[in-house]
Amino acid sequence: MKSILLILFVGFNLITLNGYSQSSTPEKVHSVVDVYRTYEWYTEQNQLWGDILKKQKKNMDAWENYYVSARMAKIMSETDTDRDNWADKMETIITGMEKAIPGTYEYYHLKSWHSSIWGATEEDVKKFSSWAEKAYAMDPDRTEIYPDMMNVYMINNDEEKMRELSKRWLASGDISPNLIALTYNMLMSTEENAILLTAGDNDTYPALVLQYARDIRPDVTVINIFCAWGSNNYRTNQFNKANVKLSSNINNEMEVVDHMIANIGEKPLFFSYGNYINGSEKLQGKVYNVGLSFRYSDTDFNNTSMLINNYENKFMLDQLRLELYPEPFPEQVKRHNLSYLPGLIQLYSHYNIIGDATKKANTRALILRITSNTNFEETIEETLRNC
């Protein structure tokens, strides 16, 4: 039982947990990784922060929010035309910063964020990396630059620096305790010496932080498929770590996956809890939910025993039952916790079949707590009634 339909359902609805009203005052603009807002909200905030900059050309907070709102509006755009317009706007903002606040932390941070080292030439990688390094040197306690610095160390395979940064990042408290627990569970759901393919920020950086800062599951080779597609250097380093045959002929992220499948031999292969696998019917037929990751198998795989062992013996779940820590981004926590649903619903069905009333009731309570105050609470309740 793969629970693929539920994966598709949850993945499609993650971003519709809450609605947000418009605001006539400028507000701090966060990445959609932390806080989800509407396209209209980002558009309005961009206008508001732009108005401030007309009067205060050296207001660094305004520049940062002006850029972030444009970047998030681009992400939320529904048409290619809008995306292109916002991409042009982002370029204009960076150019404006070069004139108004050159040499500042904000300038170097946003320049680095704006210019991805993944897919860049070797010369550009050095240039883009230098901007991140300058911002980090100016203020190593500001966590906004940590993802860019981790990218620099990943592409250069600098494990000593990754360890140093990971310890600083974990100690900063910047990563949500809930996300730390979820990532721990993701790593623990894999088999020994596994390869774990990730596809985003929240399933890649925290995994590296736990591995390098706390030595949690260092046997697992974490490979971000988009980074492996974009950087031959990163791909070579990670494939070597995983003892996978190298390939210089990778044209897109799916070819990274295909190459891994064709060359892993007996190594266990897992996908993170993210919903990247939804884009491939071929993968959907060969991945099996084992809790917070999905195990790839060419043959039928009975995942129930592994799923039970992970949830009953390996996972940290207190953060799902109790609000142990204040979370700066509660909407993010809600979205992350939905990743547990496919495995929990399969467990609920199993406990129902074997007649374990206590475990069935406990699992049901946990599922309902996770889906409480979401826009598909009733659908999940109906699903449980039909299990």
From CA 155, how far away is CA 237, in angstroms rounded? 8
pLDDT band at 17; cut points 50, 70, 90: very low
Residue 58's pLDDT is what? Answer: 97
Taking 50 as the threshold, does the pLDDT of residue 273 lie above it?
Answer: yes
Average confidence score pLDDT of the chain: 91
Taking 80 as the threshold, does the pLDDT of residue 23 lie above it?
Answer: no
Residue 292's pLDDT is what? Answer: 94
Average pLDDT score over residue span 15-27: 61
What is the percent of the chain where pLDDT is above 90?
A: 79
pLDDT band at 8; cut points 50, 70, 90: very low
What is the percent of the chain where pLDDT is above 70?
A: 92
CB within 8 Å of 304: residues ≥ 6 apart: 1, 346, 350
Taking 80 as the threshold, does the pLDDT of residue 265 lie above it?
Answer: yes
User: Residue 20, Cβ neighbours under 10 Å: how many?
Assistant: 12
Reference 181, options 76, 285, 327; nearest CA is 327
Alpha-carbon separation of residue 235 from 24, 125, 152, 222, 224 (angstroms): 46, 15, 14, 11, 9
Residue 369's pLDDT is what? Answer: 94
Average pLDDT score over residue span 213-226: 97
Taking 50 as the threshold, does the pLDDT of residue 219 lie above it?
Answer: yes
Q: How do 269-272 and 293-296 pair as beta strands?
A: antiparallel
Residue of 28 and 1 predicted with greater confidence: 28
Reference 183, options 76, 293, 257; nearest CA is 293
pLDDT band at 10; cut points 50, 70, 90: very low
b/e code 223-240 from CB counts within 10 Å (16+ = b): bbbbbbbbbbbbbebbbe
Helices (H), 77-121: 80-100, 105-114
Reference 195, options 247, 242, 254, 255; nearest CA is 242
**Do the Cβ atoms of 225 and 256 come closer than 8 Å?**
yes
Taking 70 as the threshold, does the pLDDT of residue 14 lie above it?
Answer: no
**222-249 tens-digit pLDDT:** 999 999 999 999 999 999 999 999 987 8
Average pLDDT score over residue span 56-77: 98
Residue 283's pLDDT is what? Answer: 83
Average pLDDT score over residue span 254-277: 88
Taking 90 as the threshold, does the pLDDT of residue 221 lie above it?
Answer: yes
Residue 278's pLDDT is what? Answer: 65
HSE of 99 in the Cβ direction (CA atoms, 13 Å)?
7
From CA 276, how far away is CA 225, in angstroms rounded? 10
Taking 70 as the threshold, does the pLDDT of residue 5 lie above it?
Answer: no
Residue 99's pLDDT is what? Answer: 96
CA angle 177, 180, 184 (to 5 degrees): 140
CA angle 169, 172, 176 (to 5 degrees): 85
**104-155 tens-digit pLDDT:** 999 999 999 999 999 999 999 999 999 999 999 999 999 999 999 999 999 9
**Do the Cβ atoms of 44 and 65 come closer than 8 Å?**
no
CA angle 154, 7, 73 (to 5 degrees): 60
Residue 19's pLDDT is what? Answer: 45
**Do the Cβ atoms of 55 and 74 come closer than 8 Å?**
no
Most distant CA pair in the chain, distance = 70
